Structure 1
Amino acid sequence: MPGELPNPVWKRILYPQDLVWLLLFSALAWVSPTRGTAELEMLTALAVLQVVTPRVSALTTPRGNLAVILLKLMLGFLLIGVTGGIASSYYLILLLPVVSAATTLGPVGTTLITGLACVAYLAFIPVTYSLGYMLEGVYLRDLSLRVIFLPAVAYLTYSLAEANRNEALRAQAAVAQLEVANRRLLEAEASMRRSERLAALGQLTAGLAHELRNPLGTMKASAEILLEKIEPGNDLGHELAGYISSEVDRTNSLITRFLEFARPVKLRLAPTDLNALIDLVIDQLARMTPDAPPEIHKNYDPTIPLIEADAELLERVILNLIRNAVQASPPGVIVTVKTRGGPDVVEMAVIDRGSGIQASHREQIFNPFFTTKANGVGLGLAITAKIVDEHGGRITVESEPGRGSLFLVSLPQVPPKNRRMQSEPSD
């Protein structure tokens, strides 16, 4: 964070726990009565292993970790062997591999390592007898306690480590749930902002469109009268009057689309097969462009249920999305349409391989009058989003510049009944 001082170099090189290990093994070497060369070598090797292991990525893998634990077990066995065998005061050094196994391995691995540690210590008993020493009475009970101590520590350590692991998993699950909830909240906020903008612009558009209809009607009638009055040989007059008439028609068509956007959507719900509806739209697009039909790959989920939807309005949503995907993709590039079902929703994804959408445009593409097309009006996706919203669904977009876009429409199997626009009964 700004203003924070970087960690000192020594903290990045030497971990706090390294000091603990170094002090521990130094103390063991200091209090040792013999301080033999072999003993110091074993203690040094164990100290180096404890300090180096976290810094070597190969030793932190499952196989590397197992190799380190076995190496600790071997070094502990040798240390006990060079310091008196069964009578060595270093028998507790076997706790290093046992605790390491209990904190990093599963129950089977922990049991095996603990068993090997017990066997490693008990292996010195035959050696003791071969040297002429007799183990009996209190000394045998003391050895038994030492051996029992290892699995007891292993069990307690493993239980504590397992509880910590479970707690960490629960924390990770909670974080994941919070991320999902946060993402849904952001999507809901974006949808609410879009709905508010749509409502305000819809009211403005409706009023403006009605005000423009009257003068346009007058212009259209005047152009028709002008065409009748112009002499047959006046080509320029006929051409200009024709321009007026055609532009008035184009403007009227645009106003009709504005009014269509502003007009409340009234759903006529009926059981609808989404896969069949997509097929109908694709066939319609193929008829519209017989010379160069779009290449569309269908990836349907045949198990999706019927949904309660207005098939006519939903057809417009599908047509708009697929047509946009075809226009955004280079010639000859396949557009993918995918469907899948969920517990309560049915989803449709339209995927193109075009130039993608800039990050700054993604929240605006569903706003009315926003378009990146030279001759676009910017109402197609706005109307699409409005229809999906009225069905109680959600439309989202994922896009990466240069790699294409994915528009995902999620529709509930049964739209909510308490929506602002109630559905009308079918005729």
Structure 2
Amino acid sequence: MPNILIIEDEPAIRNVLRDILTDEDKTFKVEEAGDGEEGLELIKKKDYDLVICDIKMPKKDGLEVLQLALNINPDLPFLMISGHGDIETAVDCIKKGAYDYISKPPDLNRLLNSVRIALDRKSLIKQNRTLKDENKALKRKVSEKYEMIGNSDALNEIREMINKVASTEARVLITGPNGTGKELVAHHIHEKSDRNKMPMIEVNCAAIPSELIESELFGHMKGSFTGAHKDKAGKFELANKGTIFLDEIGDMSLSAQAKVLRALQEGKITRVGGDKEINVDVRVLAATNKDLAKEIEEGNFREDLYHRLAVILIKVPGLDERKEDIESLVEYFAEKIAIGHGEAKKEFSKDAIEALKAQSWTGNIRELRNVVERLIILGENPVTKKDVASFVIK
């Protein structure tokens, strides 16, 4: 329901304007003020969709009300009216931020048309602001999802490395055991890069059967194999102008490795079953938990591809190498888990934290997160060393 404020010192004019608006649309909620000060006080207290304001008024004139009101709400449409109008007055109103200017007595059609357009504009501004807020919330959510928790020397070195390489086009190979957060490093590189307005496409090479990996990466043409019912773009095409993250690249087949090498060398790919070359502009980030030097020796990974990928090497340490971050990680996970369960956050005693630091974390951060959830469910509040001994230490 549009909420409209009429600021006019002449009661007869206020009544006419109110009747015009309510006769035009019964959903209009119309409020009135008899002078500029009264109108400004109402604007401070309520959210209006439109203000129709006279210029010549006692106490505060319309132009003063206009300027003060727009300081309060810059998006509030003002329709200025005056019986002493001229071109200079109209131009002055528009310069000071009014949406429109109408002379008295107002032409009915001109007034209603201006009111409708102003209300539509206010509605669009609200929608745009809502979309911007949703986008900001989504970005915050994504940022929180890929937050790097801790302040250890090892983690700070990685942050420093990310800051150095993110703005370049250099390919990065991220190594480290499972569960250490290699994907977090990749996301931070992408978000800090000049490509961050475009997508980062993730491919888990270990999760895709070897016979389908080429189709997944490069796409396929209809009929190129059983089940290929239509043409399909691959991940390299989808990541064009953005970033592709090849996770667990050590598990990629040699055939697919050859095609990835060509894509890196020439900036071109060909869909499975096709003969057309497709240009792609993609930054490649890759990660693996394998020793690629050993994989090269055993003939499982191409040395030339390794050198193409490993322009920059970032090694993510296991949790056992950065135990000083455990307290921060426990605090972070405890808060997130409490929110997820819809319950009050449980605290962890100092002796519980020390007991967790004394553990060996072969499953790294992923394992720690699961342990924190277990302790929150089964332990007391605060979680104690005794709880750790009961539910964690084997």
TM-score range, shorter chain: under 0.3
TM-score (norm 1): 0.23
TM-score (norm 2): 0.24
Bigger share in strand: 2
Of the two structures, which has the highest relative contact order with CA contacts closer than 8 Å and spacing of 6 or more?
2
Bigger share in helix: 1
